[in-house]
Structure 1
Amino acid sequence: MTQKTALLIIDVQVGIVEGPIGPVYQKTSLVQTIKKLREDAWKRAIPVLYVQDTDVAELGADAYAIHPELAPLPTETVILKQATDAFHETDLHEQLQSLGITHLVMTGCKTEFCVDSACKRATTLGYDVTLVSDGHSTTDNTVLRAEQIIAHHNVSMHGLGNIGPFILVRDSTEDVLTPAHDTYR
């Protein structure tokens, strides 16, 4: 099966990556990983879409903005969302469908909330998903350290599927922009 890929960058807003909601675990390496993936996507003419959470801060506040090192180009799509699920009451699915996308490479913040729900929902909508193991992050909670949350999600999400489409967890050192799902079907 021929697949068409898009890179999805979820909630890498200043208020999450840097604070006050963050800083997220290994924020510098996270930003660099996503930045490199985005540059690779640009070189290969792979669409890059951003998701921005309207609940992070007031519109116009520094914390609301997408991290300056990852700021979208004026021609790139930014999906505004209110729910943890990037597809809920947004036009993300329609945007992806109009581009003919069948494979999503997922990155961003926060692992156990918005990244988790976007990955799972994408499979129910028919997309194969590659979750970049070192391309998502979060903060500590009262039970687990951020590092544990990330590790748990990298293990529990790998292979998770809904009938046909499923999630593969791959490291950014691999060619994550090329889907590997068909080798497992």
Structure 2
Amino acid sequence: MIEWEGRQIPETFAEIVDPAHTVVIMHDIQNDNTGPDGVFARDNRRIDVTQIVGPIAAFLDTARSHGVRVMYTQYTNLPNLGTFTDPRIRENYAIARDPEQRWRLENSHYGSHGWQTVDELAPKPGETVIGKMRTDAFIGTPLEYLLRLYRIRTIIHTGLATEVGILPTAWHAANLGFFVVVPRDCVGPMIKEHHAEAMSLLSRLTLVRDSGEITAAWAERS
């Protein structure tokens, strides 16, 4: 631990991911974007999470067993494209005004089955779920307030998508002064071709590790 001007600052990786001040956030693996009966599947753009669901489930269980707080984000829309920004309406205007195609944009409605996290990764009773209307999970949500309330210093990001929600949220977290960790085997992209570039940026902004390195650090401290 570094002593600096009356502050104690984590120095080693084990200190950074200390369960006492660490949260794991599971991002946006929801029925509408990854499930077989979701809107994305019907629109032939279902996100493939087969390679990461198992590692994430195991990682979350290990986190819970070490007393690490687990939180969730769920991308959230309202009916009638009520949460779409002006630029997004402009971008999708041809589809939005076409009654035959508009369903392609209507997904992840708050409280619906499509909005829920998939069963394999579902939150446990009492775990916090944050509905977010922007890809950055800090915008318009109580996330920062809750993290400060729980005395969190380190955020571990898992889930979707590296180039959509995880990158801006991790960047925002780093700017707010949190340590940020990304287990490379527990995150995935929305579009595969963008994953490597997103991970390259995340490697500059955060501590990118294998999940096994994180769980080993927890085992070491316990």
**TM-score, shorter chain, exceeding 0.5:** yes
TM-score by length of 2: 0.69
Once residues 152 and 173 of structure 1 are traced to their aligned partners in structure 2, the CA distance between those partners, rounded to angstroms, is: 23
Summarize the alignment of residues 99-178 of structure 1 with structure 2, pairs less than 5 Å apart.
Answer: 99-140=150-191, 146=192, 148-160=193-205, 167-175=206-214, 178=217
Query: Which has the greater radius of gyration?
Result: 2
Q: Does residue 20 of the first structure (1) align with residue 39 of the second (2)?
A: yes
Query: In the alignment, which residue of structure 2 is the partner of 1:51?
Result: 73
Q: Which runs of 4+ in 1 moved over 6 A?
A: none
- Partner of 2:198, secondary structure, is helix
Once residues 169 and 86 of structure 1 are traced to their aligned partners in structure 2, the CA distance between those partners, rounded to angstroms, is: 19
Q: CA 1:33 to 1:86, structure 2 compared with 1: closer, same or farther past 3 Å?
A: same
More helix by share: 2
Identity value in percent: 29
Q: CA 1:173 to 1:24, structure 2 compared with 1: closer, same or farther past 3 Å?
A: farther
8 Å CA contact retained: 2:155, 2:179: yes
Deviations 1:129-179 (A, max 9, x none): 111212122233xxxxx1x3222222221132xxxxxx1111223226849
Query: How big is the shift at 1:62?
Result: 2.4
8 Å CA contact retained: 2:63, 2:215: no
8 Å CA contact retained: 2:180, 2:207: yes
Once residues 46 and 76 of structure 1 are traced to their aligned partners in structure 2, the CA distance between those partners, rounded to angstroms, is: 11
Once residues 61 and 80 of structure 1 are traced to their aligned partners in structure 2, the CA distance between those partners, rounded to angstroms, is: 12
* Aligned AA (1:49): M
8 Å CA contact retained: 1:107, 1:136: yes
Once residues 104 and 176 of structure 1 are traced to their aligned partners in structure 2, the CA distance between those partners, rounded to angstroms, is: 14
Q: CA 1:88 to 1:60, structure 2 compared with 1: closer, same or farther past 3 Å?
A: closer
Deviations 1:69-112 (A, max 9, x none): 11111210111111111001111011111111111100111221
Aligned residues: 166
Structure 1 residue ranges without an equivalent (≥5): 141-145, 161-166, 180-185
Q: Does residue 89 of the first structure (1) align with residue 140 of the second (2)?
A: yes
